[in-house]
Amino acid sequence: MTTHPTARPAPISVVSGDATCPQARGPKIIAHVCNDLGGWGKGFVLAISKRWPEPERDYRSWHRGRAGNDFGLGAVRLVRVREDTWVANMIGQRGIRTGSAGVPIRYDALERCLTALADHALERGASVHMPRIGCGLAGGKWSRVEPLVERALTAKGVAVTVYDHGDTDRARRRGH
């Protein structure tokens, strides 16, 4: 694992806004959670596809070729969308519906994704930008996701900004 020689833990910044428009200078990675079924059509992915076609194309191709590649829970692929910006497709969700196995989010897979994401961010000197990953359609709780983000990213000196649409205080109270 790569660590930054002067890595200092940094708090997660939470701002109101759109995670597809990262508010930072320098290299940026926009992180989000994908399912392991190859489905791309609801939630945050729609905002990504509206701005750039490449992440969806790459995800679908990655899924189609899964018999011969690393596609699966815990895997991450970065897709360059601008000179200084990448989208991280992170496979952290089993299926798309809540059922007998519970909600689709898989916290252990998400933690593996975030650990790999930290290496990518440190290699590029990039900050990471995200919605409250895993807490929408995947059914996760921010109270469980936030410590994973802190342990995998901010503890290693990677700056993280979380973007909330609307009222951030209301979202915090809900635990999302």
Convert the pLDDT of each residue in 100-149 to its tens digit.
Answer: 778 899 999 999 999 999 999 999 999 999 999 999 989 999 999 999 99
Amino acid at 156: K
Over residues 59-74, mean pLDDT: 98
Domain regions of the chain by residue span? 13-174
Give me the CATH code for the 13-174 domain, please: 3.40.220.10
pLDDT at 16 (0 to 100): 95
Percent helix, strand and coil across the chain, each rounded to 5?
35, 25, 45
Residue 89: which of 106, 102, 105, 71 has the closest Cα?
A: 71
**Confidence bin at 170 (pLDDT 50/70/90):** very low
Question: How far apart are alpha carbons 100 and 98 in whole angstroms?
Answer: 7
Pick from 36, 45, 94: which is nearest to 63 by CA?
Answer: 36
* Dihedral sign of CA atoms 101, 106, 108, 109 in order: positive
d(CA 40, CA 59): 8
Percent of the chain with pLDDT over 90: 81
